[in-house]
Structure 1
Amino acid sequence: MHLQDKRVLITGGSSGIGLATAHQLVAKGARVCITGRRQEPLDRAVEALRAIGGDVFGVVADVGTHEGRGTTLVGAAAFGGLDILVNNAGGVRAGRLEDTTEAEIRAMVEVDLLAPILLTRMAMPLLRASGDGVIVNVASGIALIGMPFYATYAAAKAGLARFGESLRREFSGEGVHVMTVYPGATETPMMSTNRAGPELGFVRESADDVAISLVQGLESRALEVVRGGDARMAMVRINQETPAVLDERFQALKPALAEAVRDHSAL
């Protein structure tokens, strides 16, 4: 796929993977609309993207609400249409399920699963009109391998992954492609309250590295982009074939992991 002049909407685009992806797409000549819930970070992001020559604007909106999704699409349509939708906005609250409030559970399901589904549904007329539309769903490595203390987040991100897979097959031959991205632990504001390191399974990488892979996936029309290399894929195979092996590994890590992630919250 050639990205020059493609019209792109990125939710959660004022920081992290979303902003890094916007930088990569601008460098390819795409026209980009980014969304975020807060005005000041969004303004800074737009200014930085325009400073490198980007045809960019921002929309302040919460895609977790019906009104916010409507505002988002009105803003994105200012380019005269939409070719690529990147469902990137997300939220997390780690911890034991019984210690997670109902409000926190609902917030994760709303922003990580329901919002992408409903925004995609609303965007379909624009994506179909493109004739070469693409939907990118940013899931998580935790959607492939469920980790303790991330039960709701894992459920929502796994749901997003299967949503994308089903939708890809639904749209096959109809001019709309769907790609799912599985980042690992990434250095973003969302991870700032997570103290877990490589010894606990959180090998961090930069948002730029994830964004580069995402854009390469767009260009090659990949079905999936899985970060983490051979080590991640080996764990996925173990999780499929002998999951009890990972159960034992996580059991040994539980006390240290529980302490390291107990304050991990970005909602």
Structure 2
Amino acid sequence: MGFFSSKQHFPVEGRTVLLTGGSSGMGRALAKKLAEQGANVCIVARNQQKLDETIDYIKSHAKFPNQRFLAISADCTSATENTRILDETTTWNNSTPPDIIWANAGSSSPGLFIDTPLETHRAQMDMNYWSSFYLAHASLKLWLSPSSPQDKKEKEEAKRAEPRHFIITSSVVAFVGLAGYTPYAPAKAALKSLADSLRMELNLYSGSRQSSTHPSPTSEVKIHLVCPATILSPGYDAENETKHAVTKMLEEDDPKQTSEQVAEAALKGLRRGDYVITTQWLAHAMRVCALGGSPRNGWGIVDVLFGWVMGVAWLFIAPVLEGKVWRWGRDHGCASA
């Protein structure tokens, strides 16, 4: 898989994709690209008007005339709503669970830690961690439900079936903490830990599928974590309204991507079979610095070598960033701005 493999690890043509946060920004761009590649797509968001507009938009980019599209208005921060989303999608999909589920819902409300109301900290955790957690819990319970032992032919057919994929959108702030992102970054870091733990735990179910005597899931399940950086989108415009000036200063030279560029880079990483996917060079550097016990992509050689280089570079980069924040405080004070 990954760096040395030419196999397409993420075929979507004819498959059904459930995508939360699908009505704007990165989610809208993903829905369009999945439609272009022949997928049946269900998008989820709160605003019905935006959902309807996005459905019309992605229908116009469908690869085939018989592709199907569905919009569900729901609050992804509710556990019961995530169960409803899956129930409605499964019913719509001819009583078959979706093949690919992408937990993409999220929003950023940056600000200094002590200046941000506790209600906002809580809401950020609900939107950026619990929404993905609830969807993962409901999806994996559905996918991993064991079936009775099959005969040899059925077992072999199941082994050849394409795996299902659960994808979580996190952020590069899961790798490196920045001043002014304390309401947002902890939830995104928690998603990385959740993905790492789930990825290892799923080996239990994959191993059981090799048994001819024990009940086991009918399909293999893959976990992926997508960590974009700055995305030029309505969400980015909204977060800049509350973002502290010191945070804007730290980010001013960072490369920025459009929603389309991020969506294409994420899908390219999935086709390679990558586990942790970043979408531009700075994010790649941040990823290899912070992998810890996370699995490396491909055979791991590139990640290890790049990680050594960036480990040395970070000896110089980190003091520069912290020095910028210190000098900002000296020159401008610590008032919220």
| TM-score (norm: length of structure 1) | 0.87
Alignment CA distance shift 1:243-1:166 (3 Å): farther
CA distance in 1, matches of 2:310, 2:185: 14
Query: How many angstroms does 1:243 deviate by?
Result: 5.7
Give the structure 2 partner of residue 50 of structure 1. Answer: 59
1:2 aligns with 2:11: yes
Matched, 1:84 2:100: yes
Residue 149 of structure 1 aligns to which amino acid in structure 2?
Answer: G
What residue in structure 1 maps to residue 174 of structure 2? 143
Cα deviation, residue 18, structure 1: 0.7
**Cα deviations across residues 210-257 of structure 1 (Å, max 9, x unaligned)?**
11122222222211111221x44445358856467424424415749x
Deviation at residue 61 of structure 1 after TM alignment: 0.3
- Deviations along 1:78-130, one digit per CA (max 9) or x if unpaired, are 21321111010002111111111111111111111112111111111443478
| Conservation of the 8 A alpha-carbon contact between 2:116 and 2:183 | no
The runs of 5 or more residues in structure 2 that have no matched partner are 1-9, 146-160, 207-219, 242-247, 290-306
Output the CA distance in 1 between the equivalents of 2:117 and 2:310.
Answer: 29
Higher-Rg structure is 2
1:120-156 CA distance string (max 9 Å, x none): 1111144347872111111101111111110131111
Deviation at 1:177, TM superposition (A): 0.4
* Residue 112 (structure 2) aligns with: 96
Q: SS of 1:99's equivalent?
A: coil
1:164 equivalenced with 2:195 (yes/no): yes
* Preserved contact between residue 113 and residue 156 of structure 1 (Cα < 8 Å): yes
8 A Cα contact 1:184 1:204, kept in partner: yes
Corresponding residue pairs, total: 259
For structure 1, the 5+ residue unaligned runs are none
**Structure 1 or 2: larger strand share?**
1
For residues 9-43 of structure 1, give each alpha carbon's deviation from its aligned partner in whole angstroms, at most 9, with x where no partner exists: 11100011111111111111111100001111111
Structure 2 Cα separation of the partners of residues 243 and 72 of structure 1: 46
Is 1:26–1:49's contact at 8 Å kept on the other side of the alignment? yes
Contact 1:143–1:161 under 8 Å retained in 2: yes
- Match of 1:29, SS? coil
Label 1:84 to 1:14 Cα distance change in 2 as closer, same or farther (>3 A): same
Secondary structure at the aligned position of 2:114 is classed as helix
Alignment of 1:121-136 (within 5 A): 121-128=137-144, 132-136=163-167
Q: Normalized against structure 2, the TM-score is what?
A: 0.70
Asked if the contact 1:84–1:127 (Cα under 8 Å) also holds between the matched residues in 2, the reply is: no
Q: Does 1:249 align with 2:280?
A: no
* Correspondent of 2:223 among 161, 174, 178: 178
2:181 is matched by which residue type in structure 1? Y
Structure 2 counterpart of 1:252, which letter?
A: K
1:195-220 deviation digits (Å, cap 9, x = unpaired): 73786344210111111122222222
In structure 2, the partner of 1:37 is 46
Counterpart of 1:222 in structure 2 is: 274
CA distance in structure 1 between the aligned counterparts of 2:85 and 2:173, rounded to whole angstroms: 28
**1:47 shift after superposition:** 1.0
Tell me the distance in 2 between the aligned counterparts of 1:157 and 1:98.
19
Secondary structure of the equivalent of 1:246?
A: helix
One-letter identity of the residue aligned with 1:165: D
Q: Could you tell me how far apart the structure 2 residues matched to 1:217 and 1:170 are? A: 22
- Residue matched to 1:24: 33
* Matched-pair identity in %: 24
**Paired AA for residue 106 in structure 1:** R
